Amino acid sequence: MNTLNAEQAAELLHLNVKRVQGLARAGKLPASRIGRKWLFRRDDLEALLGAKGSSPHAAVSLSARNRLRGRVSGLQLDGLMAEVQIRIGDQELVSMITSSSARRLGLAIGDEVLAVIKSTEIMVGKEGGEV
């Protein structure tokens, strides 16, 4: 059994060590506490990340809060970049990602995906509102 300490788990998950410890404390990450230290099974964390052949619907922990589930409605790979069109309800979102990322994810039209939005500024508008 391959176990990781909190620092190693944070590196694997691309999270801050304090965040990993907090998630473990809250029971959101599988871990064992030995004295004052948290220990994590590598297999459990990799399953959360969807690695090593785990289910494509495995949970993924992200720091971003704005996640929109949709389906790929269009996909154009051109050189280094790929344009991914995602249908979310009756709205369409367009994302530019690298072609290598699109290939690595195995994106295809009709795939169910998550659009994760992380931004420091989001504007909100309402029709008929004050200008």
pLDDT digits (tens, 9 = 90+) for 20-65: 999 899 888 899 999 989 999 988 888 777 644 444 444 556 666 6
- The answer to whether residue 37 is domain-embedded is yes
Domain of residue 36, residue span: 3-49
Asked if residue 113 and residue 72 are part of one domain, the reply reads yes
pTM above 0.95, yes or no: no
- The answer to whether residue 20 is domain-embedded is yes
Alpha helices in the chain (DSSP H): 6-13, 17-25, 42-49, 99-105
pLDDT of residue 52: 44
- Report the pLDDT averaged over residues 69-95: 93
Q: Which amino acid is at 112?
A: E
Report whether pLDDT(76) > 90: yes
82-109 in b/e form (b: 16+ CB < 10 A) is bebbbeeeeeeeeeeeeeeebeeeebee
C-alpha angle with apex 97: 96 to 100, nearest 5 degrees?
145
Asked if residue 41 and residue 76 are part of one domain, the reply reads no
Quote the number of domains for the chain: 2
pLDDT of residue 1: 61
- The answer to whether residue 42 is domain-embedded is yes
- How far apart are the C-alpha atoms of 131 and 126, rounded to whole Å? 10
